[in-house]
């Protein structure tokens, strides 16, 4: 057999795989393509990949034989057992230092496990988030690789050239250890849920609150897309709202209001609960989809439960629209603040060294949440990589202060109208909690001690002989008997 020519191999010739191969080929790399159904390989070479440098392989052995050392093989197969199965099939043909890259939608605990398993065998593993859909894969995705640190120098050039570029910078950098690439991709998807929900709430307020139609709302989004909200999702929202069916009616109004989900938003919310981090906006975005899904029950409820009378808006419409823009912006700042808090907490727990400026930079282009805003987050973490939260950054601190009055007016008005704003409202509630020196958790602690003897600590400066400093104190609240102990109840 001749000397290996392949820079990288790719397994899984569905649309994402094909597009990524063609993209890497355009960037000057020789890709070796493999699919379990080998006729797919021939089809691909004879059609989409015709006239390119792409090589085909008809067996795993041939794939590995065609690759230069250290071998780099991307798996773009269904997340789950298929990934483990291909890793197993590859192993006999791999040598120390070879790199297996999982570019699928794997859950990060699997990537943590696979990194350990492969490293124990002298191989390297990379779990890479790939975002941007088919279009991104073909012309420049956002790539979020993490895993065996030693793999990065070997894949860096291919990954950074293949990724989307913003102002000459690639939307790809090394995320960190073990499962961090897939973790960051998961948080990205959660944030995407949040951004979409915020936009949907703004649309609802404009439509049912202000009573304006889709074409006017499209114009508002088009205007917003020139300001602080400039982003892919705002842009496509304007396009969607302008899109009419053949009868001239906005097509969006004919779409059943039951949202689906594939689970990455839910994973983020679960990860947040596990980490004990208040990622409330993504949580509300997931729950809003759940509520949307029970359409039939909502229809029945709408017949028997009345909201407030919704009078025509009598205030200054343009002022209200400007307020709404600020409400959307401020809520978005909170959502990203929460997302980065979650990553920080997890990094601490799992001993990952995450590069937050790099993560924001990776999301600036190529993916669904791409926006100008992410450039500002990049700058915030470039200025201070240990930033406690985005709200401590000067730029974002000023932005939320400026947005605050309009943000409050919008939520207050939506409440009076009876229009649900779970994402806007939870963002504001988080904001008000986060900036509160004192929250009512003192009462929670008292309740927990009253019924469950869970004990509490005393406020520094308020100590006395009954309330000693630094001790776990239990008070006999009722003066009645009972030997209630913390183990009898838990709350």
Ligand X SMILES: *[C@@H]1O[C@H](CO)[C@@H](O)[C@H](O)[C@H]1NC(C)=O
Per the annotation, binding residues for NADP(+) are 12-17, 35-37, 77-79, 105
- Is there binding between residue 175 and ligand X (CB under 6 A)? no
Which one from 185, 266, 332, 370 is the annotated catalytic residue?
A: 185
Map the footprint of ligand X across residues 36-75, applying CB under 6 A: 36-37, 40
Which one from 192, 214, 284, 325 is the annotated catalytic residue?
A: 192
Spell out the residues 6+ positions from residue 188 whose beta carbon is closer than 8 angstroms to its own.
129, 131, 142, 144, 363, 367, 369
Number of residues in contact with ligand X under rule CB under 6 A = 17
Q: Which is nearer to ligand X, 94 or 374 (CB)?
A: 94
Catalytic site residue 370? Answer: no
- Is there binding between residue 207 and ligand X (CB under 6 A)? no
Burial 446-464 (b: 16+ CB within 10 A, else e): eebbeebbbebeeeeeeee
**CA-wise closest residue to 186 among 316, 38, 342, 322:** 342
User: Under DSSP, is residue 367 helix (H, G, I), strand (E, B) or coil?
Assistant: coil
Token couple for 69: 């050392």
Burial of 333 (0-12, 13-18, 19+ CB in 10 A): buried
Backbone phi, then psi, for 126, in 5-degree steps? -130, 125
Please pick, from the candidates 215, 253, 302, 488, the single residue that binds ligand X as defined by CB under 6 A: 215
- Is there binding between residue 14 and ligand X (CB under 6 A)? yes
- Is there binding between residue 454 and ligand X (CB under 6 A)? no
To ligand X, the closest distance from the beta carbon of 64 in angstroms equals: 15
Backbone phi, then psi, for 262, in 5-degree steps? -100, -5
- Is there binding between residue 476 and ligand X (CB under 6 A)? yes
Considering only the stretches 33-41, 172-180, 357-365, 443-451, report the one whose residues sit in contact with ligand X under the rule CB under 6 A.
33-41
- Is there binding between residue 92 and ligand X (CB under 6 A)? no
What does each C-alpha distance from 178 to 102, 155, 285, 454 come to in angstroms?
12, 16, 28, 37
Q: Which is nearer to ligand X, 251 or 270 (CB)?
A: 251
The conformation of residue 67, written as its DSSP 8-state character, comes to B
Give CA torsion, residues 36, 42, 47, 52, to 10 deg: 100
Please pick, from the candidates 8, 10, 13, 414, the single residue that binds ligand X as defined by CB under 6 A: 13
Please pick, from the candidates 35, 55, 148, 378, the single residue that binds ligand X as defined by CB under 6 A: 35
- Is there binding between residue 479 and ligand X (CB under 6 A)? yes
**CA-wise closest residue to 372 among 383, 382, 381, 361:** 361
To ligand X, the closest distance from the beta carbon of 227 in angstroms equals: 22
Q: Which is nearer to ligand X, 276 or 482 (CB)?
A: 482
- Is there binding between residue 88 and ligand X (CB under 6 A)? no
List the Cα angle 209/211/216 in 5-degree steps.
120
Please pick, from the candidates 8, 10, 11, 60, the single residue that binds ligand X as defined by CB under 6 A: 11
Q: How many CB atoms lie within 10 A of CB 487?
A: 8
Token couple for 33: 């393509």
Q: Which is nearer to ligand X, 287 or 313 (CB)?
A: 313
- Is there binding between residue 324 and ligand X (CB under 6 A)? no
Token couple for 5: 């020519």
Tell me the sheet residues that pair with 371.
231
Is 111:147 a contact under the CB 8 Å cutoff?
yes
- Is there binding between residue 81 and ligand X (CB under 6 A)? no
Helix pair 317-350, 394-417: axis angle to 10 deg:
120
To ligand X, the closest distance from the beta carbon of 485 in angstroms equals: 9
Pick out the residues of the known binding site: 12-17, 35-37, 77-79, 105, 131-133, 188-189, 193, 262, 289, 448, 454
- Is there binding between residue 488 and ligand X (CB under 6 A)? no
Q: Count of alpha carbons within 13 Å of 224, Cβ hemisphere only?
A: 31
Pick out the residues of the known binding site for substrate: 105, 131-133, 188-189, 193, 262, 289, 448, 454
Strands 99-102 and 72-75, how do they pair?
A: parallel
Catalytic site residue 325? Answer: no
- Is there binding between residue 2 and ligand X (CB under 6 A)? no
Please pick, from the candidates 481, 487, 490, 491, the single residue that binds ligand X as defined by CB under 6 A: 481
Q: Which is nearer to ligand X, 344 or 454 (CB)?
A: 454
Is 76:14 a contact under the CB 8 Å cutoff?
yes
Q: Which is nearer to ligand X, 241 or 324 (CB)?
A: 241
Q: Which is nearer to ligand X, 470 or 481 (CB)?
A: 481
Report, as residue numbers or ranges, the catalytic residues: 185, 192
Residues that bind ligand X (CB under 6 A): 11-14, 35-37, 40, 77, 213, 215-216, 476, 479, 481-483
């Amino acid at each position: 057999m001749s000397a290996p020519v392949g820079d990288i191999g790719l397994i899984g010739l569905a649309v994402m795989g094909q597009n990524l191969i063609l993209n890497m080929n355009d960037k000057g790399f020789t890709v070796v393509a493999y699919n379990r159904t080998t006729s797919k390989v021939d089809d691909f070479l004879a059609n989409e990949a015709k006239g390119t440098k792409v090589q085909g392989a008809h067996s795993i052995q041939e794939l590995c034989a065609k690759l230069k050392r250290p071998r780099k093989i991307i798996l773009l197969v269904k997340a789950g057992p298929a990934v483990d199965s291909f890793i197993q099939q590859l192993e006999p043909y791999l040598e120390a230092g070879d790199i297996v890259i999982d570019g699928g939608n794997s859950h990060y605990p699997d990537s943590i496990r696979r990194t350990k398993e492969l490293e124990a065998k002298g191989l390297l593993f990379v779990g890479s988030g790939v975002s941007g859909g088919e279009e991104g894969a073909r012309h420049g995705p956002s790539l979020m690789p993490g895993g065996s640190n030693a793999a990065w120098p070997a894949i860096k050039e291919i990954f950074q050239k293949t990724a989307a570029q913003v102002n000459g910078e690639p939307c790809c950098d090394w995320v960190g250890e073990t499962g961090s690439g897939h973790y960051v991709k998961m948080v990205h998807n959660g944030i995407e849920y949040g951004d979409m929900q915020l936009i949907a709430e703004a649309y609802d307020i404009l439509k049912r609150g202000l009573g304006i139609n889709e074409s006017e709302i499209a114009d508002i989004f088009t205007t917003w897309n020139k300001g602080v909200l400039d982003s892919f999702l705002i842009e496509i929202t304007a396009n969607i709202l302008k899109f009419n069916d053949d009868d001239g009616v906005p097509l969006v109004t004919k779409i059943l209001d039951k949202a689906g989900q594939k689970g990455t938003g839910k994973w983020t919310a679960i990860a947040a609960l596990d980490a004990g981090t208040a990622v409330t906006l993504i949580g509300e975005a997931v729950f809003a989809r759940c509520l949307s899904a029970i359409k039939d029950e909502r229809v029945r409820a709408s017949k028997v439960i009345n909201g407030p009378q919704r009078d025509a808006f009598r205030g200054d419409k343009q002022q209200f629209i400007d307020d709404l823009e600020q409400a959307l912006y401020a809520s978005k700042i909170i959502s990203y603040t929460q997302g980065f808090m979650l990553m920080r907490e997890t990094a601490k727990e799992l001993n990952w060294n995450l590069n937050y400026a790099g993560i924001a930079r990776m999301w600036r282009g190529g993916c669904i949440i791409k926006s100008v805003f992410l450039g500002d987050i990049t700058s915030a973490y470039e200025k201070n990589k240990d930033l406690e939260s985005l709200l401590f950054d000067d730029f974002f601190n000023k932005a939320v202060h400026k947005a605050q009055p309009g943000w409050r007016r919008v939520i207050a008005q939506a409440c009076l109208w009876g229009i649900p704003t779970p994402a806007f409202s939870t963002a504001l509630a988080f904001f008000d909690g986060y900036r509160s020196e004192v929250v009512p958790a003192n009462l929670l602690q008292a309740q927990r001690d009253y019924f469950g003897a869970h004990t509490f600590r005393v406020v520094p400066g308020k100590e006395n002989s009954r309330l000693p400093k630094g001790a776990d104190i239990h008070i006999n609240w009722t003066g009645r008997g009972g030997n209630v102990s913390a183990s009898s109840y838990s709350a």
